[in-house]
Amino acid sequence: MSAISSSTHSTPSSNTTTSTLNQNVKNNKIETKDGLTTSTRNNSVGTFPDSLGDNVEFTTSPVPLTPKENSTNQQPFGSISSNSSQNADNLSKSHVIAPSSPSQQQQNSTVSNKNKKTEFPYFKVGISEDRNKRYRRTMEDAHSFFYDFAGIEGQGFFAIFDGHAGKQAADWCGNHFHETFQEVLLKNPTLPISEIFHLTFLQADKQLNQNAGKHSGCTAIAAFLRSEEITEDETANGKKPISNGVEKKQKRVLYTANVGDARAVLSRNGTAIRLSYDHKGSDAQEAKRIVDAGGFVMNNRVNGVLAVTRSLGDSTMKDFVVGNPYTTETEITENDSFLILACDGLWDVCDDQDAVNLIKNIDDPQIASAKLIEHALTNFSTDNLSVMVIRLMRN
């Protein structure tokens, strides 16, 4: 079992408007038996400053994993897309693939009809993608998202997978990664979510390398949103959040995990906050890890081949391209408007703050996700494109 110890954080390899903020965040890392480490950033208490130059203090609180008793028989509402049944020409005709309302989205999912809802007051999801036919012959991205994940009201799970060397690994993750996460979650009710994600990524990586990941791989960005009780320790330390004059008893916490260069960006007061780490060959820390393991980095590629230094699958390069994720924990405040998950097809031509600025005044997450796809195509992105926007409801 992994142990958690303190560590010094290094900022993401690409320059963004949040780099100054990231330098001030206190971190943990998960150490495994093979000596690999996984960075963990805890943002569970405290808020990001209006000025990115200010210091930020965060603390970690225990997190209960037990589902509500009256929710255990519910099923999640959501959508899974691996594009395995979609014609590549159809993908190139329209990059909008998901309907705008949750009630419409659930009709395309695998949930039972008896559990259908018409309103989801906690968040709304929009997802758009495009093959980018000018540069790509095939679509190798996949995604999944769920309302009321694991049968708990208001709980959400969201993920995007960007495949390479084929779509098999991304397809598998789009269909099964959330199942692995839920299985690990239920089997380890006392572990922090950061380590739940860590174990999930390693287990999914192992399963992929036995099956779909033998000849292909994928980057991954995943997010998990849920409500948690405010502990007595937090109250004793002066944390008594007030909403509309009423003292709150619960908080919403967002957890993220990623390998590779798919990215998560949170909009807080209109400022882009990156909640992921770009694992690339151009990153000095990642390059050193690979060289220490006996590999090399040439032209910012691992062994001259792969541009990302962490992924799921890629079994032939597993000695160097590991599946250990970078994780974060952030308490959601009333100043947090939306979360963007996207593959590098967007981020190659759009920085974090520009993405937030483009959609900050768009309430419908479906329209917002399509706007970001259109921006990437207009700016000559050369990759497949997948963008998910999660609009956080203030309640």
Condensed to tens digits (0 to 9), the pLDDT of residues 120-176 reads 789 999 999 999 999 999 999 999 999 999 999 999 999 999 999 989 999 999 999
In angstroms, the CA 308 to CA 286 distance is 9
Q: What's the pLDDT at 96?
A: 44
User: Which token pair is 56?
Assistant: 């930020």
Say which residue, 276 or 12, is predicted with more confidence. Answer: 276
Say which residue, 249 or 257, is predicted with more confidence. Answer: 257
Q: What's the pLDDT at 121?
A: 85
Task: Give residue 394's pLDDT band: very low, low, confident or very high (50, 70, 90).
Answer: confident
Q: Please say whether the beta carbons of 295 and 323 come within 8 A.
A: no
Q: What's the pLDDT at 41?
A: 62
Say which residue, 103 or 377, is predicted with more confidence. Answer: 377
Task: Give residue 242's pLDDT band: very low, low, confident or very high (50, 70, 90).
Answer: low
Residue 198 has pLDDT above 90, yes or no: yes
151 by Cβ neighbours in 10 Å (0-12 / 13-18 / 19+) ranks as middle
Task: Give residue 233's pLDDT band: very low, low, confident or very high (50, 70, 90).
Answer: low
Task: Give residue 205's pLDDT band: very low, low, confident or very high (50, 70, 90).
Answer: very high
Phi-psi map region of 150: left, alpha, beta (phi>0 left; psi -120 to 50 alpha): left
CATH superfamily of 3-61+90-392: PPM-type phosphatase domain (3.60.40.10)
Q: What's the pLDDT at 337?
A: 96
User: Which token pair is 287?
Assistant: 């390059």
Q: Please say whether the beta carbons of 145 and 79 come within 8 A.
A: yes
Side chain identity, residue 235: T
List the alpha helices (DSSP H) in the chain.
19-23, 88-93, 102-105, 168-187, 193-210, 232-236, 284-292, 344-347, 352-359, 365-378
Q: What's the pLDDT at 210?
A: 83
In angstroms, the CA 386 to CA 369 distance is 9
Say which residue, 263 or 8, is predicted with more confidence. Answer: 263
Residue 310 has pLDDT above 70, yes or no: yes
Q: Please say whether the beta carbons of 27 and 10 come within 8 A.
A: no
- Write the pLDDT tens digit of every residue in 49-66: 333 333 333 333 333 333
Residue 301 has pLDDT above 70, yes or no: yes
Per residue in 180-197, is it b (16+ CB within 10 Å) or e — as a string?
bbbebbeeeeebbbbbbb
91 CB neighbour count, 10 Å cutoff: 21
102 CB neighbour count, 10 Å cutoff: 21
What residue ranges do the domains of the chain occupy?
Answer: 3-61+90-392
In angstroms, the CA 289 to CA 112 distance is 46
User: Which token pair is 200?
Assistant: 């999930």
- If residue 3 lies in a helix (H) or strand (E), which one and from where to where? strand 3-7
- Write the pLDDT tens digit of every residue in 334-370: 999 999 999 999 999 999 999 999 999 999 999 999 9
Task: Give residue 230's pLDDT band: very low, low, confident or very high (50, 70, 90).
Answer: confident
Residue 246 has pLDDT above 70, yes or no: no
Over range 280-291, report the average pLDDT.
Answer: 94
Distance of CA 187 to the CA centre of its chain: 22
In angstroms, the CA 139 to CA 183 distance is 29
**Rounded (to 5) percent helix, strand, coil in the chain:** 30, 30, 40
Sequence-distant (6+) residues with CB within 8 A of 33 are none
In angstroms, the CA 165 to CA 385 distance is 16
**DSSP state letter for 112:** -
| Mean of the per-residue pLDDT values of the chain | 76
Q: List Cα–Cα distances, 100 to 84, 156, 365, in angstroms.
A: 23, 17, 7
**DSSP state letter for 277:** -
In angstroms, the CA 66 to CA 63 distance is 9
2 CB neighbour count, 10 Å cutoff: 19
Q: What's the pLDDT at 111?
A: 32
- Which candidate, 391, 384, 388, 390, places its Cα nearest to that of 83? 384
